[in-house]
Amino acid sequence: MTRILKYRVRVMLLAGLFAAAFTLTTAFAPVAQAQSKDPIKIGFSMALTGALAGGGKQSLVAMQIWAEDINEQGGILGRSVELVFYDDQTNPKNVPGIYSKLLDVDKVDFVVSGYGTNLIAPAMPVVIDRDIVFMGLFGMNNNGKWNYEKYFQILPAGPSPAVGFSSNWFEAVKTFKPKTIALVAADAEFARNLKEGAVENAKAMGLEIVYNENYPPRTADFTPIVRAVNAKKPDIFYIASYPNGSAGLVRAIAEVGTDAMAVGGGMVGLQYAGLMSGLGPNLNGFLNYDFYVPEPTMNIYPGSKELIDRYQKKVKDEGLKTDALGYYLVPWAYAYVDILGKAVNAVGKIDHDAIAEYIHKTKFTTVVGDVEFGDNGEWTQSRTIAVQYQGIKNNELDQFSQPGTRKIMFPADIQTGEVKPFNSLR
Amino acid sequence: MIILELFINALIAGILLGGFFAALSIGLSICFGLLDTVNIAHPTFIVAAAFCTFILNANFGIDPILAGIIITPLFFGLGWVIYSLYYQFFEKTSAEALRGLAFFFGLLFITEVVLIISFGVDHRLVNAAYIGKSFGGEFAGISVSVPFRLLSAFVVAAILTLGLQMFLDRSFFGRATRAVHQDMMALSLMGVDPVAIKRIAFAIGLGTCGIAGALMIIVIPIEPAVGRLFIGNVFAIVVLGGLGSISGTLIAAMILGIAESMVSTFFGPSWAPAVSFTILLGVLAFRPTGLLGVGDTR
């Protein structure tokens, strides 16, 4: 009896164990399967508030459009793509903490940069420490001091970005045969780098630098700066500014005037829809950098117009509170995650060494044309364009989505207008 | 001659800029200087007023300064509500020091988020006939130009400041407000409700945000977080002028405006903040109560 009972108990225990094992395996099987199908997480900080939010928000929308596209095409490595992002408030101090959280807490598979030099710079040490691929969005010479081999940059400023960024502007002003130049920059990393590059270009042209100063970001009135520049009587006036300063300088120049034949160069924000419509005719005559404008010769970037149309429709249909036009950043923000996705799919696994090697040796076809990266992660050739604001009659936004308000002055192969002296367009 | 011309233009620009700084600071001078309420959200409320001005200007074509006058009662009411809450939850329980500061920090962030949700993050500007233009001419061979944008800000700020100064000096309410600053207990013994006085005074302080916001969007482009750029400036001006002194605030704003303008013109703009705060430290070293402050009489 006892033996029979023991036997039954053993049988029941064995049956229970089998049942438990079966339950556990069936319960965990979908989890294991789900884990292999977990999304690929791409983490980043983005300027969604603060001074650079005008660019940051349109970048985010472009990246979300890319995520929709890639997921429709089957994702990366057969897994869907999920964007994990935090607002850095355009404050560099927030960036290292965000990237540490993305990598340690959110366990993202890849990180890409936020928008802009000042916000890429503080992420570099965190990323380099982890030895992972890092795609940058509009960073000015962020890798200059690091020479990090897994850094790749979407700013089309060429192998020496600080110099290449302004080289076409200096080509465009050669028509005025200038002898002297004044330079003003915002006291921030991007603008200072840009001005250093402009100084090199100016020296290469044999220009005498008559004024070279930085202004603090909280400057409210720029008329004293413009007067101080005017007192030096420069032939051309190069400005490297952030959005608040760009608007302040445009208005101060409208009020005080200048005799410089060319004004502008590296003014961030004049490409934003809000500032373009707000400043309106005060922009006439400014000669500035840009990357994409709605001119007929910009068909060099196949697919970019369709992407911008999609962006504009999305902003309108969904009532998004962001840049209504999206010319400035949308194609580029789409392209830098697109390159990462293409590289990972080509390598076939998450291997940062192999992915970095693949990006270095590959020419990528993207919405911003064919892209190749040099050893320092910068573009092998500059595609920054010099545009002059012409014929702006009022503050209507629609005019900026038509050809003619921002004519391309350089490079010559896509030129759509003749550069004119600043005051002749006022 | 060029140096003299630069000097005169820099002086004019500095005075006009000082007027703008005064408009930003005058409300805080009441809230912080007279009522000891560390309203760190003050610049953000100015930005909120600037967005209200933008709506009225963009949608109805109303002149920005007129728009500022129209929205001032709205901000007066907002100040009334905010002080009532602040008193009920913090001041009444003597928890105003740190928790009160946290309350205004919270208001700052909430206001910014509301602005971001409502307007997005794009920069906004207004347009008026006097923006982007200047007047001037040659006087004794010296060319002078005065931007209307800054001149209008200066004129409005000067009227606002002098009006408030007269109101606080000559009205019963003004004297009562100063009495609250000096001795709340004594005021209570006189049969005056100090809380009611403080509520109205705080509402007036926040009401000035209406005008200041209009001037802000006339002078600079705005976005929801732009107020943070001016937090240091406005507190420095109130402290430099002397806590509780409206005319001191105006003088301090002029000093910092002129200093910034002169330094930008002759030594380079990057030195401007350093010089401004050196002036602040220098004055406080020799006169801890600020330029026209009378010190704590309690």
Residue of chain A minimizing CA distance to B122: A54
Q: Please give the residue that has the higher pLDDT: either B243 or A330.
A: A330
Give me the pLDDT at residue A35, please. 42
Which residues from chain A sit within 8 angstroms of residue B16, using beta carbons? 221
Lowest mean pLDDT among A21-30, A100-109, A376-385, B129-138: A21-30
Are A247 and B2 a contacting pair at CB < 8 A?
Answer: no
Give me the pLDDT at residue A294, please. 93
Say whether pLDDT at A24 is over 50.
no
Domains A40-156+301-371 and A161-290+390-425 share a fold: yes
Of A269, A308, A298, residue with least CA distance to A286: A269
Angle between the N-to-C axes of helices B64-86 and B194-219, in degrees from 0 to 180, rounded to the nearest 10: 150
CA B204 remoteness from chain centre: 12
In the structure encoding, which two tokens stand for residue A70, read together?
A: 């890639």
DSSP per residue over B187-245, as a string? HHHTT--HHHHHHHHHHHHHHHHHHHHHHHHHHS-B-TTGGGGGHHHHHHHHHHH-TT-
Which residues from chain A sit within 8 angstroms of residue B14, using beta carbons? 224
Provide, rounded to the nearest whole percent, the portion of chain A with pLDDT above 70: 92
Give me the pLDDT at residue B33, please. 86
The CATH fold assigned to A40-156+301-371 is: Rossmann fold (3.40.50)
Q: How confident is the model at residue A382 (pLDDT cuts 50, 70, 90)?
A: confident
The burial class, CB within 10 Å (0-12 / 13-18 / 19+), for B231 is: middle
pLDDT tens digits for range B245-292: 888 999 999 999 999 999 999 998 988 888 888 998 999 898 888 898
Provide, rounded to the nearest whole percent, the portion of chain B with pLDDT above 70: 97
Peptide bond connecting A411 to the previous residue in cis, omega within 30 degrees of 0: yes
* Average pLDDT of the segment spanning A3-15: 49
Of A141, A117, A242, residue with least CA distance to A197: A141
| In chain B, domain spans | 2-286
Angle between the N-to-C axes of helices B148-170 and B194-219, in degrees from 0 to 180, rounded to the nearest 10: 170
Phi, psi of B137 (to 5 degrees): 170, -170
Which residues from chain A sit within 8 angstroms of residue B221, using beta carbons? 243-244, 247-248, 274-275, 278
The burial class, CB within 10 Å (0-12 / 13-18 / 19+), for B75 is: buried
Q: How confident is the model at residue A3 (pLDDT cuts 50, 70, 90)?
A: low
Are A247 and B273 a contacting pair at CB < 8 A?
Answer: no
Give me the pLDDT at residue A20, please. 46
Of A253, A256, A282, A251, residue with least CA distance to B9: A256
Say whether pLDDT at A358 is over 90.
yes
Its pTM stands at 0.86
Cβ neighbors of A217 (< 8 A, separation 6 or more) are A51, A186, A187, A188, A242, A244, A245, B229
CA A88 vs CA A50, A92, A122, A245, B240: distances in Å: 9, 7, 11, 21, 33
Q: How far apart are CA A350 and CA A356, in angstroms?
A: 11
Say whether pLDDT at A396 is over 80.
yes
Of A218, B124, A234, residue with least CA distance to A226: A234
Instruction: Quote the mean pLDDT of chain A.
Output: 90
Say whether pLDDT at A30 is over 70.
no
Interface test mutation site (partner B, options A93, A187, A218, A221, max chain B beta carbons within 10 A): A221
CA A131 remoteness from chain centre: 22
* Average pLDDT of the segment spanning A333-352: 97
Interface test mutation site (partner A, options B8, B9, B121, B234, max chain A beta carbons within 10 A): B121
pLDDT tens digits for range A137-191: 999 889 988 999 999 999 898 999 989 999 999 999 999 999 999 999 999 888 9
Among B14, B225, B262, select the one facing A50 at the smallest CB separation. B225
Which residues from chain A sit within 8 angstroms of residue B260, using beta carbons? 221, 224
Which residues from chain B sit within 8 angstroms of residue A210, using beta carbons? none
Give me the pLDDT at residue A80, please. 96
CA B273 remoteness from chain centre: 18
Are A53 and B112 a contacting pair at CB < 8 A?
Answer: no
Say whether pLDDT at B206 is over 50.
yes
SS3 (DSSP) at B146: strand
Instruction: Flag whether residue A214 sits within 8 Å of chain B, measured between CB atoms.
Output: yes
* Average pLDDT of the segment spanning A130-136: 97
Lowest mean pLDDT among A142-146, B73-77, B83-87, B95-99: B95-99
Residue of chain A minimizing CA distance to B131: A251
Say whether pLDDT at B1 is over 90.
no
Residues in chain B, overall count: 298
Q: How far apart are CA A109 and CA A107, in angstroms?
A: 7
Give me the pLDDT at residue A317, please. 94
CATH class of A161-290+390-425: alpha beta
Say whether pLDDT at B82 is over 90.
yes
Cβ neighbors of A29 (< 8 A, separation 6 or more) are none
Q: Please give the residue that has the higher pLDDT: either B287 or A35.
A: B287
Of A58, A257, A262, residue with least CA distance to B134: A257
SS3 (DSSP) at B94: coil
* Average pLDDT of the segment spanning B71-75: 97
Are B261 and A224 a contacting pair at CB < 8 A?
Answer: yes
In the structure encoding, which two tokens stand for residue A353, read together?
A: 């060494």
Instruction: Flag whether residue A397 sits within 8 Å of chain B, measured between CB atoms.
Output: no
CA A61 remoteness from chain centre: 12
Are A221 and B117 a contacting pair at CB < 8 A?
Answer: no
* DSSP 8-state class, residue B69: H
In the structure encoding, which two tokens stand for residue A225, read together?
A: 């700066």
- The CA angle A161-A330-B110, to the nearest 5 degrees, is 105
Q: How confident is the model at residue A13 (pLDDT cuts 50, 70, 90)?
A: very low
Give me the pLDDT at residue B36, please. 85
Among B121, B266, B269, select the one facing A49 at the smallest CB separation. B121
How many CB atoms are closer than 10 A to CB B162? 13
Instruction: Flag whether residue A49 sits within 8 Å of chain B, measured between CB atoms.
Output: yes
Three-state SS across chain A? CHHHHHHHHHHHHHHHHHHHHHHHHHHHHHHHHHHHCCCEEEEEEECCCCCCHHHHHHHHHHHHHHHHHHHHCCCECCECEEEEEEECCCCHHHHHHHHHHHHHCCCCCEEEEEECHHHHHHHHHHHHHHCCCEEEECCCCCCCCCCCCCEEECCCECCCHHHHHHHHHHHHHHHHCCCEEEEEEECCHHHHHHHHHHHHHHHHCCCEEEEEEEECCCCCCCHHHHHHHHHCCCCEEEEEECHHHHHHHHHHHHHHCCCCCEEEEEECCCCCHHHHHHHHHHHCCCEEEECCCCCHHHHHCCCHHHHHHHHHHHHHHCCCCCCCCCCCCHHHHHHHHHHHHHHHHHHCCCCHHHHHHHHHHCCEEECCEEECECCCCCECCECCEEEEECCCCCCCCHHHHCCCCEEEEECHHHCCCCCCCHHHHC
| In chain A, domain spans | 40-156+301-371, 161-290+390-425
Instruction: Flag whether residue A280 sits within 8 Å of chain B, measured between CB atoms.
Output: yes
